[in-house]
């Protein structure tokens, strides 16, 4: 078990003929991910590193039975790619593309809901169930199979933390990078619920950052519904208000979304917050009684 993806997952790559799409497809394949097709409109029938290319997602799903699609198409077309995947009936769409206009993302939301499609991203590194399936741009070699779930709004900071967890002997069940945009797909609460119900996850690490109030909502959810321990970290404690810190979602404005408020909410929910990433593995071990 794990959440969202495992060795049975069949993956399509939208934008497989692009530079990033082709590069990461080969990395995912090397990791052992079951990539069973790619999509590139107008290039159907061709081949990228031994993977068959289709013109449309619909065609690819019909031919292969794929249940997940990962998107590498450029930002102006990413919203449409998400819609195409949703209408083709995949269960999970992972959008790696950075810089997607917010309104394009908002347009996809009612459609995803209507079709029952789950979305991760946009502007995210993807997700991994170590040893089984890697979807996105995560560096597979730093992950280890284990019982810690991880959810993060960041990319490299996630790798940093995962590397520390793995080095201290804490493997991971599934790690999900939910992305740094203000409007995105699955968020903390959706994933916390999945981890709570996953028998192979014993503890969860949550990496949040400034902006919005998703961390506060997560804290309230943990307090009320979670039995498994959660350890948190918040990036951006020193960021000035009103400035966008790389991620479009990381803006503190008008007194909401500050690191202090988030840390306070977690502390009140009994969730320890590490003051630096290096302290996370120790806190997880403490919670697991190792």
Partner 1 sequence: MKIHEYQARNLFRKYGIPVPDGVVCHSVEDVEKNVPNNDKLRVVKAQVHVGGRGKAGGVKLAKTKAEAVEKAGQILGMNIKGLTVEKVLVADAVDIEKEFYVGLINDRNSKSVTLMASAEGGVEIEEVARVSPEKIIKLSIDSTMGLMDWQARKIALQLFSDPNEMRQAAAILVKLYRLYVETDSSLAEINPLVLTPDKQVLAIDGKMNFDDNALFRQPEILKMREATEDEKKEIEANEKGLSYIKLDGNIGCMVNGAGLAMATMDMIKLYGGEPANFLDIGGSSSPQKVVEAMNILLSDSNVNAVMINIFGGITRCDDVARGLVTALKEIDTDIPVVIRLSGTNAKEGLEIIREFGLATVSTMSEAAQKAIELSRG
Cβ nearer to partner 1, comparing 11 with 122? 122
**Contact positions with partner 1 (CB under 8 A) in 124-143:** 137-139, 141-142
Single residue of 41, 89, 101, 282 touching partner 1 by CB under 8 A? 101
- Quote the CA–CA distance of 206 and 63 in Å, as a whole number: 38
Single residue of 18, 41, 171, 182 touching partner 1 by CB under 8 A? 182
Using CB under 8 A as the binding rule, whether residue 171 contacts partner 1 is answered as no
| Closest CB 263 distance from partner 1, rounded Å | 12
Virtual torsion, Cα 99, 29, 1, 205, nearest 10 deg: -40
Stretch that binds partner 1, among 37-45, 127-135, 221-229, 271-279 (CB under 8 A): 271-279
Q: List the beta bridge partners of residue 230.
A: 204
Cβ nearer to partner 1, comparing 66 with 81? 81
Q: Would you give the end-to-end CA distance of the chain in angstroms?
A: 22
Which two three-digit tokens encode residue 140?
Answer: 């597979």
- Quote the CA–CA distance of 114 and 109 in Å, as a whole number: 9
Number of H helices, E strands in the chain: 9, 13
Catalytic-residue membership of 24: no
Task: Return all residues near 8 (Cβ < 8 A) that are at least 6 apart.
Answer: 34
User: How many angstroms separate the Cα of 246 from the Cα of each of 18, 50, 98?
Assistant: 24, 36, 11
Q: What is the DSSP letter of 240?
A: P
Using CB under 8 A as the binding rule, whether residue 160 contacts partner 1 is answered as yes
| Closest CB 62 distance from partner 1, rounded Å | 26
Contact residues: partner 1, CB under 8 A: 27, 75-76, 99-107, 109-111, 137-139, 141-142, 152-160, 163, 180, 182-183, 207, 209-210, 212-214, 217, 233, 235-240, 243-250, 254-256, 275-278
Catalytic residues, by residue number, are: 247
């Amino acid at each position: 078990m794990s959440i969202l993806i495992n060795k049975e997952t069949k993956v399509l790559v939208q934008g497989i003929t692009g530079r990033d799409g082709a590069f990461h497809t080969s990395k995912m394949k090397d990791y052992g991910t079951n990539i069973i097709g790619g999509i590139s409109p107008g290039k159907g029938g061709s081949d990228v590193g031994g993977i068959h290319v289709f013109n449309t997602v619909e065609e690819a799903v019909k031919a292969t039975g794929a249940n997940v699609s990962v998107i590498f198409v450029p930002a102006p077309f990413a919203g449409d790619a998400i819609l195409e995947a949703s209408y083709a009936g995949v269960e999970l769409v992972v959008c790696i593309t950075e810089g997607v206009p917010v309104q394009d993302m908002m347009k996809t939301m009612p459609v995803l809901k209507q079709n029952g499609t789950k979305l991760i991203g946009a502007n995210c590194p993807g997700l991994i169930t170590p040893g089984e399936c890697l979807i996105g741009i995560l560096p597979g070699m730093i992950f280890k199979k284990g019982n810690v779930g991880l959810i993060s709004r960041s990319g490299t900071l996630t790798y940093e933390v995962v590397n520390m967890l793995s080095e201290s002997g804490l493997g991971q069940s599934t790690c999900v990078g939910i992305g740094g945009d203000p409007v995105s797909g699955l968020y903390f609460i959706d994933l916390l619920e999945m981890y709570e119900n996953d028998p192979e996850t014993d503890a969860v690490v949550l990496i949040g950052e400034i902006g919005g109030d998703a961390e506060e909502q997560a804290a309230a959810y943990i307090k009320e519904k979670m039995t498994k321990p959660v350890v948190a970290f918040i990036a951006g404690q020193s960021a000035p208000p009103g400035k966008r810190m790389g991620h479009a979602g990381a803006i503190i404005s008008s007194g909401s979304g500050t690191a202090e408020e988030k840390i306070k909410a977690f502390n009140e929910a009994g969730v320890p917050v590490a003051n630096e990433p290096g302290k996370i593995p120790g806190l997880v071990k403490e919670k697991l009684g190792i």
